[in-house]
């Protein structure tokens, strides 16, 4: 009896070898022991459907995502009991059949360059007549639409922290840039899903202390991640937290810096992940005042006076939209500025811009500041790039 059984097993194994069966080693779901998974034969992809790219967002589902996909179909496979697709060439990996429907086997794999992609399907069972192994649809992935303020550079944001002061705009200064990421069609209908802001404290040259905030409107829920070093009590510490409304946090408490401090270099990154992008469609921003870039329409990096040596100013807030009419200037100020309307906060779109030194009115090193603001921006729009005299902080 043992000889007969041995003979039968031998005949079966030889038959499999001569039939060209494809053998794959798998692991039983209820055991750590390896089993031999036997497929009757492979069918090779010969390029059909390599022109079927379709990235229509209406196709998106659990398998078709913004990261990209390839949807494969093997027809005439209603009698195929098991199947897997194996990728080579530009591709890699083995992927099980997703489903069998309408007599066709469907597979989903990540996207790989279809020009040099190779693929076979190993299957068990029987294929019908004239089976077709094709790509039904694919998408290389969709790059997000990005609006980048200052690119690899930064803008200088500097404060004059009391009315009728010396207008040196160095009472606190920081560098700022930001990126906004949108889903949808670039230039068409877009929805905000991510914001990344970077702030670098640069100079503190004031006799008063301030809390430097960032306000950014958001509709719906979001997760906010703050990345920074050590923080003091008033500042938003490093970590992730949830929001159900607008972002409004303290970036810097200037009381922790010795006076004066220059080239501080403390960096805080704020990343907002919007959980309801559909509630945040792109709307072209409007500048909060005439002398700042439109991009700042959604950003208010404002200061709150937290310990002023000047009576009556404690708690005063200086927002991005605020101007003051100059009634007088301090002894270090420029009398030519009296009667002009000037901002409490400068936004200078010039990378690593150097502010004036303490006690030096901005019209000393940047003489065309006067021309620009007295003409409502008509004269010398590039005033901040033209150094006309001494008095820079470094």
Q: Is the pLDDT of residue 23 over 60?
A: no
Give the other-Cβ count within 10 Å of 66's Cβ: 14
Q: Is the pLDDT of residue 20 over 80?
A: no
pTM of this prediction exceeds 0.75: no
In 3-state terms, what secondary structure has residue 119?
A: strand
pLDDT of residue 162: 81
Which band of pLDDT confidence, cut at 50, 70 and 90, is reported for residue 37? low
Q: What is the pLDDT of residues 327-366, one digit of tens each?
A: 999 999 999 999 999 999 999 999 999 999 998 999 999 9
Q: Which of 241, 153, 279, 260 is nearest to 202 (CA)?
A: 260
Average pLDDT, the chain: 90
| Mean pLDDT confidence for 252-266 | 97
Q: Is the pLDDT of residue 13 over 70?
A: no
Q: What is the pLDDT of residues 42-87, one digit of tens each?
A: 999 999 999 999 998 788 899 999 899 999 999 999 999 999 999 9
Give percent of the chain above pLDDT 90. Answer: 80
42 near 122, Cβ under 8 Å? yes
pLDDT of residue 38: 58
Q: Which residue has the higher pLDDT, 144 or 100?
A: 100
pLDDT of residue 57: 78
Q: What is the pLDDT of residues 204-234, one digit of tens each?
A: 999 899 999 999 999 999 999 999 999 999 9
Q: Which of 326, 31, 315, 307 is nearest to 163 (CA)?
A: 326
pLDDT of residue 119: 98
pLDDT of residue 1: 46
| Mean pLDDT confidence for 11-37 | 42
Task: Tell me the two tokens of residue 288.
Answer: 């909060």
In 3-state terms, what secondary structure has residue 373?
A: helix
Q: What is the pLDDT of residues 140-196, one digit of tens each?
A: 988 889 999 999 999 999 999 888 999 999 999 999 999 999 988 788 899 999 999
Q: What is the pLDDT of residues 279-299, one digit of tens each?
A: 999 999 999 999 999 999 999
Q: Is the pLDDT of residue 116 over 80?
A: yes
DSSP letters, 35-94, are EEEEESEEEE--STTTT-B---GGG-SSSS-TT-EEEEEE-S-TEEEEEEEEEEET---E
Q: Is the pLDDT of residue 41 over 80?
A: no
pLDDT of residue 307: 85
Q: Is the pLDDT of residue 25 over 80?
A: no
Residues 6+ apart with CB under 8 A from 354: 392, 393, 394
pLDDT of residue 4: 41
Give exposure, 157-180, as e/b (b: 16+ Cβ within 10 Å): bbbbbbbbbbbbbbbbbbbbbbbb
The domain segmentation of the chain, as residue ranges, is 1-39, 41-139, 145-385
């Amino acid at each position: 009896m043992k000889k007969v059984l041995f003979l039968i097993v031998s005949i079966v194994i030889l038959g499999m070898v001569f039939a060209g069966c494809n053998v794959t080693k798998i692991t039983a779901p209820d055991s750590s022991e390896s089993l031999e998974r036997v497929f009757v034969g492979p069918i090779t992809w010969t390029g059909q459907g390599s022109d079927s790219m379709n990235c229509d967002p209406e196709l998106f589902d659990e398998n078709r995502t913004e990261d990209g996909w390839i949807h494969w179909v093997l027809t005439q496979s209603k009698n195929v009991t098991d199947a897997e697709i194996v990728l080579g060439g530009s591709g890699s990996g083995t992927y099980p059949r997703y489903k069998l429907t309408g007599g066709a086997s469907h597979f989903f794999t990540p996207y790989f360059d279809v020009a040099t992609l190779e693929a076979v399907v190993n299957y068990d069972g029987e294929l019908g007549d004239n089976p077709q192994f094709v790509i039904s649809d694919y998408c290389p992935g969709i790059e997000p639409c990005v609006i980048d303020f200052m690119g690899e550079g930064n803008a200088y944001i500097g404060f004059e922290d009391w009315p009728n002061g010396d207008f040196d705009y160095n009472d606190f200064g920081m560098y700022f840039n930001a990126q906004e990421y949108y889903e949808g069609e670039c230039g068409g209908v877009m929805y905000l899903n991510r914001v990344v802001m970077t702030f670098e404290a640069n100079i503190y040259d004031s006799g008063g202390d301030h809390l430097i905030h960032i306000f950014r409107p958001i509709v719906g829920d979001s997760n906010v991640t703050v990345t920074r070093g050590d923080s003091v009590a008033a500042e938003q510490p490093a970590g992730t937290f949830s929001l159900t409304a607008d972002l409004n946090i303290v970036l810097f408490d200037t009381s922790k810096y010795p006076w004066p401090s220059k080239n501080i270099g403390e960096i805080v990154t704020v990343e907002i992940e919007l959980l309801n992008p559909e509630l945040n469609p792109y709307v072209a921003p409007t500048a909060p005042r005439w002398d700042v870039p439109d991009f700042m329409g959604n950003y208010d990096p404002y200061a709150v006076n937290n310990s002023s040596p000047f009576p009556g100013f404690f708690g005063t807030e200086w927002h991005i939209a605020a101007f003051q009419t100059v009634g007088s200037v301090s002894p270090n100020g420029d009398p030519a500025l009296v009667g002009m309307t000037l901002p409490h906060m400068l936004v200078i779109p010039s990378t690593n811009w150097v502010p004036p030194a303490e006690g030096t009115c901005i019209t000393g090193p940047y003489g065309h500041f006067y021309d620009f603001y007295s003409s409502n921006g008509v004269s010398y729009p590039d005033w901040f790039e033209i150094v006309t005299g001494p008095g820079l902080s470094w």
